[in-house]
Structure 1
Amino acid sequence: MSGQTLTDRIAAAQYTLTGSEVSRAVCKATTHEQTAPKKKHLEYLIQATQDSNVNVPQMGDTLLERVGNASWVVVFKALITTHHLMVHGNERFLQFLASRNTLFNLSNFLDKTGSHGYDMSTFIRRYSRYLNEKAFAYRQMSFDFGRVKKGYADGAMRTMSVEKLLKGMPILQSQIDSLLDFEVQPKDLNNGVINACFLLLFKDLIKLYACYNDGIINLYDTKKILIFTEVLSLQHNKMWKRFPGV
């Protein structure tokens, strides 16, 4: 399917009539076109999260509404847009997502309109689990592992106390595991939508691995490893084998 559908145009027009430019931008970013969400719409939404006059919960609710669509393209792009805002938007967007008891409930999502829909539905289910885990990690730690300072002596995980490390490392490991469970193969990267998702996940993995590495260095440097679980210290050597192209 190429180009915006009539449904896309009607949805955008409805939000235009109600005066909600943010919701209109969400619709524009999550059309039925099998391409990545357009940069101009993502940038508009990122800037909107920085505006204290913008209702961030309403933005989040509109994205969640789009996630409820029957089309794999719309749902996938809504998840990608959400992920993009979690990474690049104001932290209050993350805070809103983390405040919800449930976020994405897509464990049974299936687009039956064609073989491509079946294939992509699998990745949508996996992707939503990762985003749920990312929001849960923020709720538990009160910070995003992807945003904290890394790779330096004064990095967040290098200076963390043993008590917080014992809490944070399993949460970080769980987030990494849920990302690696995406398990995409090169042959699956056959459209602009999943390619955009893969790029975001790959960048997240680099950041999460850097955090994990800092945590391990902290444990070894301070002999905290003596009271830490052996499993966590061994698993980080295996994680790269589960992600293609690394």
Structure 2
Amino acid sequence: MSGQSITDRFAAAQHSMTGSAISKAVCKATTHEVSGPKKKHLDYLIHCTSEMNVSVPQLADTLFERTANSSWVVVFKALIATHHLMMYGNERLIQYLASRNTLFNLNNFLDKGALQGYDMSTFIRRYSRYLNEKAMSYRLVAVDFTKMKRGTDGVMRTMSTEKLIKTLPIIQNQLDALLDFQANPNELTNGVINAAFMLLFKDSIRLFAAYNEGVINLLEKYFDLKKGQCKEALDIYKKFLYRMTKLSEFLKVAETLVCFVGLYLLGHPQ
């Protein structure tokens, strides 16, 4: 039996009548059903980000509208859908998000009327702050750190000293916002928060890779730095070591979740 509420079905029917395929897909991706957004709806929205006849601002605004809902499930899934599109959609979506003066304003969000409402509202506030920081990073450097070319000839390994010193603190801020999600295994209790956590896990691996390569580049240049730059580089390196510890704790939680999902799938073959 479907977990969609009568409200979800009514909203989808309204969009069908008005001919708004994007609004209908967003509605279906952000139902009250306590599970992550369905892949088919996310895939359709990803496709839309590359269609020149689709208005990216309209798509983004439709997702923003869903975060005004009072239900933690709907709001959380709207954030997950947005994050998914930032990761896998056409770059023009994140360009648009980065161009906005404000993105998600959910610092005071609280769902008092639902099971798990208080707990999940905390994670919604943290998750929205990370997405805001991800968009801000793009706004500052015009690149998504999780998608940049890596390796010895990659962006961070070939970056100049001056640019490294400006860029690494931006990566630090984004990684801090990600690690501030701070979920432990006992709090990953449903398919919605698990879907969000898996996206954060994927971002953390790619973000840290860029961060690590930037620090390696900076250390290789260390003995050629000016006195003031040496102090900045040392400070960046100390902060890097601290974040390595925090990331290892985050990855332990991720490992637990991945093992749990694997065991679940073994016991529930498709």
The TM-score with structure 2 as length reference comes to: 0.87
Letter in 2 for 1:69: N
The answer for the alignment partner of 2:203 in structure 1 is 204
Map 1:1-246 → 2, pairs under 5 A: 3-150=3-150, 152-223=151-222, 224=225, 226=230, 228-237=232-241, 238-245=245-252
Counterparts of 1:20 and 1:169, CA distance in 2: 42
% same residue: 60
Contact 1:186 1:244 in 2 (8 A): no
Deviations 1:58-97 (A, max 9, x none): 0000000001100000000000000000000000000110
- The whole-number CA distance in structure 1 between the counterparts of 2:7 and 2:220 is 58
Q: Which amino acid aligns with 1:70?
A: S
Shift of 1:244: 4.9
Deviates more, 1:180-189 or 1:217-226: 217-226
The ranges of structure 1 where at least 4 consecutive aligned residues each deviate by more than 4 angstroms after the TM superposition are none
When structure 1 is superposed on structure 2, of 9-18 and 70-79 the one drifting more is 9-18
1:174 offset after TM fit, Å?
0.2
SS at match of 1:165: helix
- Normalized per residue, the structure richer in helix is 2
- Structure 1 position 119, deviation (Å): 0.4
> Offset at 1:20?
1.3
Residue type of the partner of 2:247?
W
When Rg is computed on C-alpha atoms for both structures, the one with the higher figure is 2
RMSD over aligned CA atoms reads 1.5
Work out the CA distance in 2 between the residues paired with 1:165 and 1:81.
Answer: 32
* Contact kept in structure 2, 1:137 and 1:175, CA below 8 Å: yes
Report the alpha carbon displacement of residue 227 of structure 1 after superposing the two structures with TM.
5.2
Name which of structure 1's ranges 68-77 and 218-227 shifts more when overlaid on structure 2. 218-227
State the alpha-carbon separation in 1 of the partners of residues 79 and 26 from structure 2: 11
More moved, 9-18 vs 51-60: 9-18
CA distance in 2, matches of 1:163, 1:244: 31
Q: d(CA) in 2 for partners of 1:172 and 1:179?
A: 11
- Give the deviation of 1:47 after TM superposition: 0.7
Tell me, in whole angstroms, the C-alpha distance in 2 between the residues paired with 1:28 and 1:34.
13
Over residues 120-139 of structure 1, what are the superposed CA-to-partner deviations in whole Å (9 max), with x where a residue is unaligned? Answer: 00000000000000000000
Size of the aligned set, in residue pairs, is 245
